[in-house]
Amino acid sequence: MIACEMCGKKCSNLKTVLVEGSILNVCENCGKLGKPIKPETVPTPLEIAMRLEQREKRFRTKNVFENVENELVHDYAKKIKDARMKMNLTPEELGKRINEKKTVITKIESGNMKPDETLIKKLETALNIKLTEKPKTEKVETKRTGRALTIGDLIKREE
């Protein structure tokens, strides 16, 4: 038996309440005078649903990134020029190899023109270089969601 901290009455089942700023273990009667303190909060079904929704959102974000086309590297101009020089080709010679005008090559190498997808592929093949990369954010996103992955998520994904 424990004694009520307010009236001293011996009681088997004390309540924890907040009375005038202090936490006391009191009997049923005295408990009515104070504010009951909530036990350690257990997430409510609503809170769980919200968390799941947030996780689902991250998944959607990740899938969006997966579908994003590879991006042209920011230093494509330098890469192309360096590769061309290594192969001892003039802009004109490289142009001939990929069936483009010399001016196209010089414009790209000076950063004044962004090659389109077809041109990127031709340049990559001709120079044996890589001019595209996955958007950087994608990697971060995969890592984060990968850690939070649960069987429930996998089932949801397949729906």
H or E segment and range at residue 10: strand 10-11
Q: How far apart are CA 76 and CA 90, in angstroms?
A: 17
Which window, 5-13, 85-93, 96-104, 125-133, contacts Zn ion (CB under 5 A)? Answer: 5-13
Cα dihedral 99, 104, 110, 116 sign: negative
Binds Zn ion (CB under 5 A): choice among 7, 33, 85, 140: 7
What residues from 9 to 38 belong to the interface with Zn ion (CB under 5 A)? 9, 26-27, 30
**Residues touching Zn ion, count (CB under 5 A):** 7
Rule CB under 5 A: say whether 83 interacts with Zn ion. Answer: no
Decide: helix, strand or coil at residue 17. strand
- Beta carbon nearer to Zn ion, 31 or 95: 31
Pair of tokens at residue 44? 């409510």
Binding site for Zn ion (CB under 5 A): 4, 6-7, 9, 26-27, 30
